[in-house]
Structure 1
């Protein structure tokens, strides 16, 4: 029966995708939609205060997102061992120190390890840290030959010397433009990164990442409402946070989780699941990230579940072409990050990620911040490109394509400064 249901959902998704060869980018073609109420409980009661939000509405929303979109994490899996491979080397003209830490997970005869690359200001004690995933290995953010090469599966990219799904020395430093580490260090912040494939390789496999650790006898893939890769990556970020609480160089009360594209989806889900993250930054996260699903513009549920079915739980398939049937939408996910600072970004040429839908979702999430006496976005209309706006919630749309740029990082740093270090007005 389970196979039959899955097969039917796959056929439905395939047929819907076949009908969407012309992706909609026209605002005039967006269907009429009505967002589910953020501050109305499932029983129909209004949420007027923080107590009801935290005790009733937030928990029920969290369960819906787990069951219908990202999938439940079946069991707790703790770090078994920590190996420090490098510590306190001096970098960036003496401004930074570096640490390379391997966290290891074990269960029965299985073992999985993930490398955390950490830079912190040299003279800082307990530095605030930005943490997020990279796409092809920690060594890609620097040309330094001493950064450990991942042994995990990596998507082939011959131009980077990644062949047969294994990295080589040729791929060192290919993503330095995405990671302006020196800029962050000069601003007083640390930065930490992990290769996403160390936790869960980005393919429809479910055999070589963390998922098999939770399988029951005879199980070969997650159940209908069990974790896909987005949840696995979010789980991995929480495990990194577990390590941060033990590291004397890191201020674990000021850890800012960020992500670009699909790692932006993982970042917002991680921040919703784990309230230890002090801030969340979503960069061009799009469908099932920050953007409203009901708008059905750019990438839709039907398209994303067809191309990347492993990212989500199987239950999401039933909403392909039926976004209006979703009991939730992404403004509710962003609302669950309150009262912690939230920053969302878009790009003018990234229509696939629906910039307007990302803005509208962020705007709606501000209603939860108001319960806490905090301010959401300070505007009600989408700002002009390259004009950041922020209170406790921030947003910008920059000119350019689907990417993460030095301009984006400059705004992240400015926003962090405002949240952590600006003095309140008299």
Structure 2
């Protein structure tokens, strides 16, 4: 599988107080979207409809959360408005959010349409960008906002829309495009497009997992350009609006109606003398394949506390100082990986004990030199063979698209010592 590139940031070369003290900011794979999300415009149906209908609008199609790609898995393929209208209709954003709620009919099935954002600074190179609009087309503009609108559409065949969805899928395949597997093991997209896919995958998956209200159990409706679900007070399923059962979400602000993000700590643990890294492995992983430790952050717990707790529970090692390094959105389905570098306390603090939690099959302290060699000769995805040059029995590590790799690399390169600009 091709090795994906990693995102870069506009301000990487900026000379600032923080950069001089802490070094350059790290942008991990699945971050660094080239789009301006314009989240404050998701409630403005005029904006959404005009963007949806514009000839330059580009549509990322997703089938069972797998993205449409070109003839290789490194480039997304984008559909046009004409391609999706048979499924979505020509005016999916014609109504206000209030009207959508008032006209709710539980018999109807509508494909989820996400507004991803505008490419307002032309960050996407031509080979990755949307199909060219017809000659003479005026660029999309709404108030002071200008750029190419990008949407994502769920074309998974469901309910009454199954026939139309299958027709769209067939039309895309007839053009030579392919729907990729949605597993992270098969991710090869270029950096900016990977971030766009990650945004779409997380939101479409959330919509699919939450068809019913968590408060009252009644069906919900996707609004706010796919980033909010509401529990309507009435239903037209009988022909005229009929009151639905009461629900605590109506009339109050409830975060249960918004997408969830699960904070997850992931940490490279360094020995007290800074010469070794603690790595662990699960039984299901390939032979000799190790990674950093990780776990979900719990309610009422700081990031630093979560790092210390997870390291101790999984490995028995006691951590002192914790420093945040970088983060990575991980839409499989809804995690935010919060990367840290932590240092074990000397003496008994470095003792490994796996009896607290049965998650790990093994945990070991690896010398930095051994880890450095593995970064050169032992990096691969979980489902891939060891790379050329790897010697059986030597350490294997996650790929550079995983924040675990970036944390390990940072330690090996001396992150935390003198800042590098």
* Bin for the TM-score computed over the shorter chain: under 0.3
Question: What is the TM-score of this pair, normalised by structure 1?
Answer: 0.25
Decide which structure has the larger Cα Rg and report it.
2
More helix by share: 1
